[in-house]
Structure 1
């Protein structure tokens, strides 16, 4: 069964790229007019191990993304993941990528004025929501545990 094989391949790839436990965390992808906000939070606010692992991972990938390196998502979701090619073509500074800690995890805010890149971010979020399935939800960041 191809779908099950792809999911198992994704799960095994995710272990190497994402250090936190998918069962103990939740991905939230919120589209905005300028791009979007990607959040990963621990399901248990007292799970300090997962919160630390989330923060380390999102901090690292936000730095990589800021340099145009989207190899992390390609390792998890495949090199042909929707919109990765478009995101890789962004010039330095064309997408503002801001990492921020949350009380129960962390987030990355992606913002640009380039309409093609905004559309690419939205499609990329849709693909991640599909791939992460029950470990991800669409959301609105202002409804979550924000520390600001």
Structure 2
């Protein structure tokens, strides 16, 4: 048993020394909170949460927020995703984060820092994807990068099964049905 533990400790040390990326699952909100967020989200987002998936990928300079359809043939949902993400990316670039505040509340982690970012310090870029769209957030300011990461964690926790963490280095793998 001690020999096995030593091997485990040695392996753990090697993993830490190599700095291998790990994905730490976000803490999930209570079922009541997830339901509340789902209801508020339906009032703000025009697409159907059950037909789409939010993917939040943290990066060294901020993060990538994707909204994609579960069924790639669902052209109507793709159109609605693109319309909404175009709108909010323009608002976010101006420091207007009122939509996430309406869904998650004004005290959402990271939100105050993002709303109060000095012009030009948080870059927000919209991109279309074949199955939806994404918003790329980037900054040179470590405090804003940390705020984006906290903001992503809060969304992962509160959107429940409608959200998932992305893969390190921005790679995407095919989604699996829940």
Higher alpha-carbon Rg: 2
- Give the aligned length: 143
| Paired position in structure 1 for 2:125 | 98
Q: Does 1:42 align with 2:66?
A: no
Report Cα offsets for 1:6-57 as digits up to 9, x if no partner. Answer: 3333222111111111110000000000000000000111100100000001
- Kept in 1, the 8 Å contact 2:33–2:158? The answer is no
Moved more, 41-50 or 136-145: 136-145
Per-residue deviation at 1:92? 1.5
Q: CA 1:108–1:144 in 2, change beyond 3 Å: closer, same or farther?
A: farther
| Paired position in structure 2 for 1:119 | 146
- Kept in 1, the 8 Å contact 2:67–2:132? The answer is yes
The alignment yields a C-alpha RMSD, in angstroms, of 1.3
Alignment of 1:108-147 (within 5 A): 108-140=135-167, 141-144=170-173
TM-score (norm 2): 0.77
Whole-Å Cα distance in 2 between the matches of residues 94 and 110 of structure 1?
10
Q: Does 1:61 align with 2:50?
A: no
SS at match of 1:20: coil
Question: Unmatched 5+ residue regions in structure 2?
Answer: 1-29
